[in-house]
Amino acid sequence: MRVAILPDEAAIGRIGADAVERLYARKPQAVLGLATGSSPLPIYQELIARHRAGRISFARGRAFALDEYVGLSPQHPQSYRQVIRTSIADHVDFPEGAVRGPEGWAEDLDAAAADYDRAIRDAGGVDLQILGIGADGHIAFNEPGGSLASRTHRGFLTAQTIRDNARFFDGDISQVPAQCLTQGIATIMEARSLVLVATGGNKAEAVRQMVEGAVSASWPATVLQFHPDALVLVDEEAAARLDRTDYYREIWDIERN
């Protein structure tokens, strides 16, 4: 796991977009994994700017979203299908139908989960997965206490996650769905590269556990320690509880130079 402690979200966006741009330069048909929430937005904004400048094209690419709420229509503005569209997909040149997400509105949710996992494998797997992290250490909607070997599945949001996500529903907790379809930990770990973004002091303990803590289902993101190519992009506040910041800064400087 490589850790980059960066000064602000703009720097995070540039470094994350660099990784995506390098991927598409060497593999124009690459499969990108897309996360929702506020964490990946600086990367998406930078990718949109680079696409408009002619630096990167997604015209031969495909993408898979991490998760979707259960119970929202695909047209709901807070469905992750819509969020992915408005955050990035509608602003670049992915072909029609090239960006997929789990179908949280399906009649048979378990079958929909299995079909989604199969679709990712049939596409050749995700080349680069963008991730955020919850304050309780969840990635996608894999909450603390869940299986570290899970595949795409129906999940349940904890009270903490519902409170955190209420900001996207005008602060109304009652409007936040309690269930989801989400890629599982094992599904995420099969991506060839991971780029995880965390900003703000409320993520500091989760970042500390993820990077320096023992691997445990109590902090699902700790399993990323086992990934062979995981890059963690954090600002100073999110890095505040790390013990080995001098080491991370030194290694990052060597890598960048």
**Which listed residue (9, 68, 136, 235) is catalytic?**
136
Mark whether 153 is an active-site residue: no
CA nearest neighbour of 63 among 40, 37, 23, 31: 31
**122 a catalytic residue:** no
Half-sphere exposure at residue 47, Cβ-oriented, CA atoms within 13 angstroms: 27
Kindly name the residue from 9, 103, 143, 235 that is annotated as catalytic: 143
Which is catalytic among the residues 46, 67, 164, 235? 67
Active site residue 138: yes
The first and second tokens of residue 84, run together, are 């992915």
| Strand boundaries in the chain, DSSP class E | 2-6, 31-34, 62-65, 67-69, 99-100, 128-131, 153-156, 179-182, 193-198, 230-235
DSSP-derived secondary structure for 193-214: EEEEEE-SGGGHHHHHHHHHSP
Active-site option among 51, 138, 153, 227: 138
Quote the CA–CA distance of 145 and 12 in Å, as a whole number.
30
Is residue 67 among the annotated active site residues? yes
Provide the annotated active-site residues: 67, 136, 138, 143
